[in-house]
Structure 1
């Protein structure tokens, strides 16, 4: 059995990786909290009696703009997860952050109905402020790029979080200076000219190499063959790489084979890590939650374990406010945790899911990305949104990577075929800015209208 099969998405475990989810009263750096996930989670200290409804809450960050961004991104994350899970089933692992950033860069050039639909679907509640908000978040994440910890008798990098954005534009295409300036200042995505017209597949490979470099080789071939064509005008990419050791690692000698029951009721034998620990924990209607901090404790993994037989209903009912409520509800407790090792990849094309969630205009012939160009932006539309992700969880910690590519294509207006004026017709000459009709006439006998022949 390969490691990808070790975690079947089921009523036994739902894992959500949450960056920066610690807050007041949750995971203070000065505590000795060890965290992990639970299978049976027999806690030595009793928790509060659950209410009839799951808790609700808000982002813990004090900055209002970042709080609004976090809330919107969480709503989008859950919307997209449910949509993709319903379409594909099985294990799923996405980076809502990566997807949202790549689409935010695209949104910077959207106008009219296209912009309105993207704004609603992606849960951008800040309008133009969404771009500086993403810049603030990028700056905050950069502060957590590396950390050192004792490893094998020495000291080595035990935490790394790297985010990169890039913009690949067709040679000779007239992009708007305002659009390029916004992406450079807020996302660090400078324009790289690409010969899409002359060598589309070579440029596709070049973009894929950049993604692989940014993700330590974990994300390869983000853009599949044929995804970049001579009609491609722009590709917007985001890549994120994460590698972190648990604040307190599992002892591999305690890992034993055990049974995992999948969503369909089938059973498989998987390696189960085990540990007694002090961790932030919450027990609430339909589920339990526990938090695993990584080295540095600014980033953690929160794992949610729905009650037996309740996985699908819990998954569908989970909202951003309830997820934040779980974060707020967790308190330090002591108990046993059993968590399977797992590793798998997810590869999805998101045009259908995003259209179903409410932004079909961006993918259609009437898409309006006029903010991207010096012209009116006609003929520009998103062809596809490609996303690939990787996650590996073991006794030492977690490695995760993801990348998103938004391919924007330009095309000629739809053809009407041949229009033959070989019968009587009308014509006029107008002044376009004022629509003044300067001349008007008809031709009913072209043979009589051949001048002095």
Structure 2
């Protein structure tokens, strides 16, 4: 039987532009004067949920799936850390999970079981998984003083028998419009790249430098824009030393601000939540004390994150945070295999028969993940791309000092659901 290939591409973009829904063009950010990049013409602003609507959607969000996503992200963070050791390590658990959800809907048998186990979905049927992802997407997108939108599309070769049930799920739960094309043609490459550019505001102008080939491409674009609730004054930003893991000093641009923040500390760490927009999303920064280290903090994080979920006080903090921009690219198969996702990568054992008539001959041959995180006085700009390739076959008297001048961990978190959109360790800002 002829061998086919399937490319599943997922782009997660956090930046100064917004993505449309389905096949729509790029949406603008909100009306707060946020600029747009590229030549894309924005359409309408996404309507925010009222407080009542938000509570209704929040009641439908599967908290177990959110916890599973964060846990999966940390286990993947740990696995990748074994490879990178003292390098920066920034990933998007949300992006990777959504990418794998598109593939999971086409998986069957032991392949689906392994994927569910790694993603923490063993106790959920597929309908619950899809509904959970749909409700979470709605809640995250529809207002928190930041902009977060997602768009999906399915491109497949003319003549390929994609299963109607699979395409229905893509349309109804992931808002993915389907388009038949010639995946070997320049026209397909140009059309997909144009869709990617339009739905990332021009920040990602292309995903393919040659025709994608194979049987199909599943593309997901997610956009986030988060300005600090209280911007740092650029005039207060100064050059300061940042101590690297090996003890060497590096000169960085350090932002400064003194105000009340959600704050908590333990014997070996300090933690602060820096809010975006209306405060429903924030950056959680966890800094090991000078008597400890980021490696010790990692061990605590990988074992149990409950310490950083509740019981934050509201304290006056004299905060210093480095401006930083980190870009990374990962190959994820080895890390995912180490977590137990094995059969999906096997030419003889993988089963994606719920995706297409020939899907029992598909197998995952690569998963690439790229992230960009840029933190400045105004807020956070970040992007992540995940591509899954499938071949056939109490108030203190004085301000608390928190000088983030050594390696630290951070997560961009939705307050209401606890979803970690990005997480990472900054060793060298």
Which of the five TM-score ranges fits, normalised by the shorter chain? 0.7 to 0.9
Q: 2:81 aligns with which of 74, 82, 85?
A: 85
CA distance in 2, matches of 1:258, 1:233: 52
Deviation digits for residues 64-106 of structure 1, max 9, x if unmatched?
A: 7520111000001111122223223422222111110111111
Shift of 1:343: 1.1
Q: 1:115–1:344: structure 2 CA closer, same or farther, 3 Å change rule?
A: same
Q: Distance in 1 between matches of 2:359 and 2:97?
A: 22
Instruction: Determine if contact 1:237/1:403 at 8 Å carries over to the other structure.
Output: no
More deviation, 121-130/296-305: 121-130
Contact 2:155 2:181 in 1 (8 A): yes
2:324–2:375 CA contact under 8 A, matched in 1? yes
Q: Which residue pairs with 1:341 in the alignment?
A: 323
Q: What is aligned with 2:258?
A: 276
User: Within 2, Cα distance between the matches of 1:245 and 1:143?
Assistant: 16
Distance 1:205 1:263, change over 3 A: farther
Other structure's SS at 2:231 match: coil
1:103 paired with 2:90, answer: no
* Shift in Å, 1:225: 5.9
Match of 1:387 among 369, 388, 407: 369
1:212 to 197, 211, 221: 197
Pick aligned residue for 1:115 from 112, 129, 136: 112
Q: Is 1:177–2:164 an aligned residue pair?
A: yes
Over aligned residues, Cα RMSD in angstroms?
2.3
1:142 aligns with 2:129: no
> Partners in 2 of 1:207 and 1:282 — Cα distance?
46
Give distance in 2, aligned partners of 1:213 and 1:81.
31
d(CA) in 1 for partners of 2:203, 2:81: 22
* Structure 1 residues 402 and 211, CA gap change in structure 2 (3 angstroms): farther
Deviations along 1:277-300, whole A, 9 cap, x unmatched?
100001024221100111122211
Count, aligned residues: 333
Judge conservation of contact 1:222–1:403 (CA < 8 Å) in 2. no
CA deviations over 1:328-375 (Å, ceiling 9, x no partner): 1212111211100011222222222222221121111121011112x3
The 2-side partners of 1:106 and 1:357 are apart by 17
Which structure: larger Rg? Answer: 1
> Are the aligned partners of 2:78 and 2:302 in contact in 1 as well (CA < 8 Å)?
no
Alignment partners' CA distance in 1, 2:249 and 2:319: 20
Runs of 4+ in 1 over 6 A off after TM superposition: none
State the SS of the aligned residue for 2:354.
Answer: helix
2:150 to 163, 171, 178: 163
Establish whether residue 192 from structure 1 lines up as the match of residue 192 from structure 2: no
Distance 1:224 1:381, change over 3 A: farther
* Structure 1 position 127, deviation (Å): 2.6
1:317 aligns with 2:314: no
Contact 1:241 1:402 (C-alpha < 8 Å) held by counterparts: no
Unaligned segments of structure 1, at least 5 residues: 1-16, 18-60, 148-158, 412-453
The alignment partner of 1:104 has SS state of helix
CA distance in 1, matches of 2:244, 2:252: 12
Could you tell me which runs of 5 or more consecutive residues in structure 2 were left unpaired when the two chains were aligned.
1-13, 15-56, 394-429
Q: How many Å apart are 1:276 and its aligned residue?
A: 0.7
Partner of 2:223: 241
